[in-house]
Amino acid sequence: MDKESIRKKLKAERRALSAEDHGSLSRQIINRIFDVIDWANIHSMHVYLPLEGQNEVDTLPFLKAARQLNPNVLIATSHHQSREIKTNWLDGDFKIAKKVPDGFQFGLVIVPMLAFDGRGYRLGFGGGFYDRFLATQPDALRVGLCYEFGHQAENLPHEQHDVPLDSIVTEKNIYKF
């Protein structure tokens, strides 16, 4: 199956999740993510904020828990403008505060996805935003959040510029690569 067919199928599955199921699955995934992270080594992180209406795993509970576990951790997020990602620090209320300096190296990057395979390759919405960003973060722990139904038995088609993740957390499993 090609990338667009997989995207279409999984977007439909995510849209079909009830609000209750989305909330329950998100909580299960967020509870598992803490088994992947060694907080003693994380001083900064980049975390996606879920897109409205896309039923992405909700990262706000993770941000709140991370701030409680390590009040000094620097937290950033990005938004897309044309073909470029704009990265900004978040303040204590998780509102955009100021621009992250170019070239900043994060300790942890939390990535959204629609699908993944057994090699750690992910499939997002397309456009390559996160792959370009991940390529600038060679030393970061790269963790993806996905629903288990996004796990593909077959290897996903990928391009030379695609960056595999270190771990992927679902409501049922933690996959390490």
pLDDT tens-digit profile of 92-115? 888 889 999 999 999 999 999 999
Each as own residue / partner, the long-range contacts of residues 62-66 (CB below 8 Å, 24 or more positions apart, any chain) are 62/30, 62/33, 62/110, 63/90, 63/94, 64/94, 65/30, 65/34
| Alpha-carbon gap, residue 7 to 177, rounded angstroms | 23
Return the pLDDT at 167: 98
Rounded to a whole number, what is the distance in angstroms from the first to the last CA of the chain? 23
> 1-42: per-residue pLDDT in tens?
788 999 999 999 999 999 999 999 999 999 999 999 998 889
Instruction: Yes or no: say if 59 and 70 are a contact pair by the CB < 8 Å rule.
Output: no
Residue 75 has pLDDT above 70, yes or no: yes
Q: What is 3-176's CATH superfamily?
A: NagB/RpiA/CoA transferase-like (3.40.50.10420)
Residue 81 has pLDDT above 90, yes or no: no
Residue 127 has pLDDT above 80, yes or no: no
The partner residues of 80 in beta bridges, in order of sequence, read: 85
Return the pLDDT at 86: 81
Domain ranges of the chain: 3-176
Indicate the DSSP class of residue 132: H
Residue 82 has pLDDT above 60, yes or no: no
Residue 80 has pLDDT above 70, yes or no: no
Instruction: Yes or no: say if 55 and 15 are a contact pair by the CB < 8 Å rule.
Output: yes
Looking at the chain, the whole-number percentage of residues with pLDDT higher than 90 is: 71
